[in-house]
Amino acid sequence: GNSVTQMEGPVTLSEEAFLTINCTYTATGYPSLFWYVQYPGEGLQLLLKATKADDKGSNKGFEATYRKETTSFHLEKGSVQVSDSAVYFCALRGGTASKLTFGTGTRLQVTL
Amino acid sequence: AAGVIQSPRHLIKEKRETATLKCYPIPRHDTVYWYQQGPGQDPQFLISFYEKMQSDKGSIPDRFSAQQFSDYHSELNMSSLELGDSALYFCASSTGTGGLRDTQYFGPGTRLTVL
């Protein structure tokens, strides 16, 4: 079946540091890949997505590239801000299933 | 832009009681999904509906049932509540069905606490 593996958190960075959150997946066929962000006490917000190999999703300074050869979709940001502190979920949707399969989430804490 | 609406936002119930959660999808979205997120966990898929028909089923307990109505809103009915049902319940909506390119948009969630 489909599965998503994320690096464990929490990840603690200073403001303006470079961020990488690793995500790898297992799926049959050609899944669509997503990053969702969950701020404290709030719901899930779509951050970015990619629907085919070599696609790059980007939003609010975050980027992730769909790498089929390494089955990865790592999230990056060049300079994080305190306001980026949240939990980040990698997810996939693939095969004949309509559901999203999520990773365990990575908590990011950015300090001044 | 209109978003997914869920009600109530918070709900407190006793063990063995029943609860009904409501979800109103984004206008013109015809597919609704329900997810359960336990404390510190990732969201787990429960069930989905397209055009009022169940389209996919995940780890939904037999004590739970759901349906989608003609106006596309959905309700999740939970009976014989247990302490372990305490969680954040998300509804998401999208257009189409089975399409691998659909994006799901999530509501703010209903936080259910079972005492």
Dist CA B71 CA B113 (whole Å) = 28
**3-class DSSP state of A84:** helix
pLDDT confidence tier of residue A29, bands split at 50, 70 and 90: confident
pLDDT confidence tier of residue A9, bands split at 50, 70 and 90: confident
Which residue in the set A31, A93, A103 is minimally distant from B42, CB to CB? A103
Within 13 Å and on the Cβ side, how many CA atoms surround B3?
Answer: 14
Tokens linked to B69 = 């109505």
Mutation for A interface: B34, B106, B111, most A CBs within 10 A:
B106
Dist CA A60 CA A38 (whole Å) = 15
Q: Which residues contact B37 (CB under 8 A, 6 or more apart)?
A: B43, B44, B87, B88, B89, B90, B109
pLDDT at A8: 85
Write out chain A residues lying below 8 Å of B41, CB-based.
104-105
Judged by a CB distance cut-off of 8 A, whether residue A87 touches chain B is no
CB of A35 closer than 8 Å to CB of A89: yes
Q: What percent of chain B clears pLDDT 70, i.e. is strictly above it?
A: 94
Question: pLDDT of B4-18, one tens digit each?
Answer: 999 999 999 999 999
pLDDT at A42: 83
CB of B45 closer than 8 Å to CB of B58: yes
Average pLDDT over residues B29-57: 91
Write out chain B residues lying below 8 Å of A104, CB-based.
41-42
CA distances from B98 to A31, A93, B27 (A): 12, 10, 19
pLDDT at B100: 43
Gyration radius of chain B's alpha carbons: 13
Average pLDDT over residues A35-47: 91
| A50–chain B nearest CA distance, Å | 9
Judged by a CB distance cut-off of 8 A, whether residue A1 touches chain B is no
Q: What percent of chain A clears pLDDT 90, i.e. is strictly above it?
A: 79
B26 or A94: which carries more pLDDT confidence?
A: B26
B98:A96 CB<8 A: yes
List residues bridging with A107 in a β-sheet: A87
A97 or A63: which carries more pLDDT confidence?
A: A63
Q: Is the pLDDT of residue B115 over 60?
A: yes
Q: Is the pLDDT of residue B96 over 60?
A: yes
Average pLDDT over residues B86-109: 81
Q: What is the mean pLDDT of chain B?
A: 91
Rounded to 5 degrees, what are φ and ψ at B58? -115, -135
CB of B105 closer than 8 Å to CB of B95: no
Q: What is the mean pLDDT of chain A?
A: 93
* Run of H or E residues at B113: strand B110-114
| A103–chain B nearest CA distance, Å | 6
Average pLDDT over residues B66-86: 96
Which residue in the set B35, B42, B103 is minimally distant from A105, CB to CB? B42
B100:A104 CB<8 A: no
Dist CA B35 CA B80 (whole Å) = 19
Q: Is the pLDDT of residue B114 over 90?
A: yes
pLDDT at B101: 46
- B44-82 burial code (b ≥16 CB/10 A, e <16): bbbbbbbeeeebbebebeeebebebeeebbbbbebeebe
Mutation for B interface: A5, A49, A99, A102, most B CBs within 10 A:
A99
